[in-house]
Amino acid sequence: MNQNRVAAIQMASGPNVNANLLEAERLIGKAVDAGAGMVVLPENFAIMGLNEQDKVSNREQEGSGPIQGFLAQQAKKHGVWLVGGTIPMVAGSENKVLAACLVYNNAGVCVARYNKMHLFDVSLEGGTEKYTESETIEHGDNVVVIDSPFGRMGVAVCYDLRFPEMFRQMLDQGMELLVLPAAFTAITGKAHWEVLVRARAIENLCYVVAAAQGGYHLNGRETHGDSMVVNPWGVVIDRLPRGSGVVIADIDRSQLASIRRSLPAISHRRI
């Protein structure tokens, strides 16, 4: 396992779970062949339903289910850390899910779970594009930062990106690397995606690995794509504007430490 090289996978998932898993398997293999020691899948990688209730019928209990089985198997088979985008998990309500991002180590063991906190309830461009995630998703409550061979790693999902206070909490827990599965819309992505991803890297002086959905989906939705890895100086190391594929970059923790020493903004905070 290469403890420096990371990969972000970009997909255009559809309503068929098995087809999505086959595509994810292909792209994970491609990332591993390129030397990645950690692979990050996009939000909703396993199912992008024809309607919002489709994910409810595919929700899984923690520790069992075909999607979790797939993630554990892939991590163990390839000997890599695998950040499982988001998958629908059982929630308190029968007609809702928790959008859970599960992290597996290179032995295929789930070592962390983050439930998406901020839910995308918006009406874009005069109501022509409307999203109400809270109708089918229960929000999570806890920030997640874990130890990994790639550094202290924070986990966030998509709309979380717009809430900088969340990442300050992560920073206080030692975050050096942020993984961000996402499915930004074409409208918001064009306007804000790159700016926000790079801003989170710059203000927290950390690496960001952002894995996005990118393309047209059978439910009529279009996602922005532009998966990328950004270094602590805000430089985009690698990116994929559209379509399915893999973004690869090396994490240089000595560079991260050097940037934090030369620009000690983190220690200058007064609020």
Residue of 55, 138, 158, 206 marked active site: 158
Q: Is 158 one of the annotated active-site residues of the chain?
A: yes
Q: Is 130 one of the annotated active-site residues of the chain?
A: no
180: buried, middle or exposed (CB in 10 Å: 19+, 13-18, 0-12)? buried
Residue of 23, 43, 138, 176 marked active site: 43
Q: Greatest CA separation found in the chain? A: 52
Question: 55 is written with which tokens?
Answer: 């994910």
Residue of 116, 133, 176, 206 marked active site: 116
- Short-list 262, 258, 100, 271, CA closest to 176: 258
- C-alpha–C-alpha distance, residues 257 and 70, integer Å: 36
CB neighbour list of residue 110: distance below 8 Å, 6 or more residues apart: 63, 68, 71, 72, 102, 103, 104
Give the single-character DSSP code of 60: B
Q: Is 133 one of the annotated active-site residues of the chain?
A: no
The set of catalytic residues is 43, 116, 158
